[in-house]
Chains A and B, each alone.
Chain A
Amino acid sequence: MKKFFKLERGMYVELGIATLLLIANIIMTLTFPYYSIHKRYYESNAYIVVLVGSYAIYLFYLFLAKKKSTNDIAVVLYGFFALWEVSYKLGWIHNDLLIPSPEGLFHVFIEKRPEIVKDVIGSVQLLFWGFLLAATLGTILGLLAGWIPRVREVLLPVSNVITLIPPLMFSAYMIMLLKTFRQAAIAVIFFAVFWPTFQGTVMRVGQIDRKVIEAARTMGVGTLGMLGKVIFPYCLPGIIGSISKSLRGAFMCLSGAEMLGINLGIGFFIEKYKSFADFRCVLAGIVTVGFITTVIDLLVNKIERFVIKWEK
């Protein structure tokens, strides 16, 4: 227990500042209810949950990961929230249609919860299928192209051209071409993930030590066995690495594709409330996208670290 609380003195000072800002924020929120331009009152429950929740995560990282930057981030974050809150309470911001109050913004997650949950699940499902298809095909073709020079010489120049085109540019066309929005969205994600995975795999196959291949051959490993037993396991960390990079891009592409005309998903949610000029909901949608991207990123990092453990 003693070790657990052992932090440098400077870190306690920052912890104190962050905590003070948090408490000030909560008191302001609870004691001075805010009325919007339309005399609408938003419950502050969601906002307080966000404040307390983020504080719990902050303490967790501070004491377990013992990173100094955690403190700095917390001070900046709670400072920002406090400033945002104060601006409303002191009347610096009058028009809350364009810039919502923190209570108003986070209240969307209570007000529109079924809708957001449905859209998030929709987006993640699309992402999952498109991603699964692209990663599987990209890996298989990448292994073949990496191992067989003739396949490589055909596919690599093609992929070099195509990867330069932003995948989102295909989406308008895909929406016309394919029967359902679902298929179009999956196609867009496919383009975002397939080519980087393919290229990453081809490069990785090229890096394998000849000695390793020769050793496998002297142990009686044939061509197919070589791909499955030797080249694939060797390439796996590289493949996961290129996947983690392309996955972020894929989610952005998906949100973009949804905004272009797919009537499902979090991008669609944002687009819909933009046309109602409800910027409170638009901002809440953007916050959701940020949150999901972060969660996906964390998950992929975990997988990456697990798979990569044999590399130095």
Chain B
Amino acid sequence: MEAADNQPKIEIKDVSFDYVDKKSSFGALHNVSLSIREGEFICILGASGCGKTTLLSLLSGLNKPKSGEVLLDGKPIKGPGIDRAVVFQQYSLFPWLTVKGNVLFGIRQSGRRLRRKERNEIADSLIEKVGLASAKDRYPSQLSGGMQQRVAVARALALESDVLLLDEPFGAIDPKLRLELQELVSKLVSDFKKTVVFITHDIDEAILLADRIVVMEPGAIKSIHKVRLPHPRVREELSGTEEYERLHRQLITAFYDQVEDRIDAGVTL
């Protein structure tokens, strides 16, 4: 039990969720509990279909839990809101707006009273932070997948929310670019001091970014691992250190046990 003055930023209490289909209901989450401190970077690691995206949709408010509750600053989450910014896997940009238009959309939605000039300045600085200054007048269809995700990150930052939720944001991007984007997110998040929930199926990505790694098995949390590595982390320096090797082994065991269990149980992945 945590002290009252040390209230968690996000608290997931005994949450269950089902996807109700026409024929059957598929249990996606069973009695999941997790509390996240302010400013913490949480990675949720799991194979596809284990309910990690469902968990994020409960945090974003796009879905409501069937039982239990999700609290933000001690208050239950009622629906989507600008106090939590979300970055989706892909194709979530507004295709009719330019890069700058997308970021400006976020700034307008943030509800801050700003003059046009101020909005433009904020948009330009965010676009520069994600390294897209030269592409700010292009439309999403003219950008590569990696560039699109940079815009999505800038648009999420434009909301100026305390909480950032990322749903496998770099899952569809080739490894070399992914590394760049991971470093970008790691830097931006420590600059902006956000509470982050980051979903991934990539163990190295989780170790590089997270303060704590939550490994999921279908419908539940399997284990939680604290990452005791100093920030900022650089991938080349990490591999080989004792802590990294230990953590990596632990995660692989936790991650693949669960996959083997499911193969044994005849579940299609």
Chain A residues in contact with chain B, CB under 8 A?
209, 211-212, 214-221, 229-230, 233-234, 236, 309-312
Q: Are A211 and B62 in contact (CB under 8 A)?
A: no
Asked if B91 contacts A209 (CB within 8 A), the reply is: yes
Which A residues lie within 8 Å of B244 (CB)?
Answer: none
**Contact between chains at B94 and A212 (CB < 8 Å):** yes
If A217-B62, A220-B81, A234-B95 touch, whether A310 touches B109 (CB-CB below 8 Å) is no
Check B84 for interface membership: any CB of A closer than 8 A.
yes
Nearest B residue to A234 via CB reads B96
Query: Within the complex, which residue of B86, B139, B141 is in contact with A215, where a contact is CB–CB below 8 Å?
Result: B86
Residue in chain A with minimal CB distance to B139: A310
In angstroms, Cα B133 to Cα A144, docked, is 38
Q: Kindly list chain B residues whose C-beta atoms are within 8 Å of the C-beta of A215.
A: 86, 88, 92-94
Number of chain B interface residues as a range: 20 to 34
Shortest C-beta distance, A240 to chain B (Å), equals 12
- Interface of A, secondary structure class, is helix
Task: Identify which of residues 134-157 in chain B touch chain A, using a CB-to-CB cut-off of 8 Å.
Answer: 139-141, 155
A234–B141 Cα distance when bound, in Å, is 13
Question: When each residue 97-140 of chain B gets 1 if its CB lies under 8 Å from chain A and 0 otherwise, what string results?
Answer: 10000000110010100000000000000000000000000011
Q: How far is the CA of A108 from the CA of B97 in the complex (A)?
A: 50
Contact of A217 among B80, B90, B105 (CB under 8 A): B80
Q: Which residues of B contact A218 (CB under 8 A)?
A: 60-62, 80, 84-86
Contacts A214-B62, A215-B88, A310-B139 given; indicate if A220 touches B96 (C-beta within 8 A).
no
Interface centre among B60, B95, B105 (most CB of A within 10 A): B95
Contact B96 A312 (CB under 8 A): no
Residues of B within 8 A of A220 (CB): 80-82, 109, 111
Instruction: Kindly list chain A residues whose C-beta atoms are within 8 Å of the C-beta of B90.
Output: 211
Given A310-B139, A310-B141, A219 and B96 contact (CB-CB distance below 8 Å): no
Pairwise interchain contact A212-B91, C-beta atoms closer than 8 A: yes
Contact A221 B88 (CB under 8 A): no
Cβ of B44 under 8 Å from chain A: no
Q: How far is the CB of A149 from chain B (nearest CB, A)?
A: 16
Using known A-B contacts A219-B159, A312-B141, determine if residue A236 contacts B109 with beta carbons closer than 8 Å: no
Neighbouring B residues of A312 by C-beta, 8 Å:
141
Distance between Cα atoms of A136 and B60 in the complex (Å): 36
Contacts of B88 in A (CB 8 A): 211, 214-215
A199 to chain B, nearest CB (A): 21
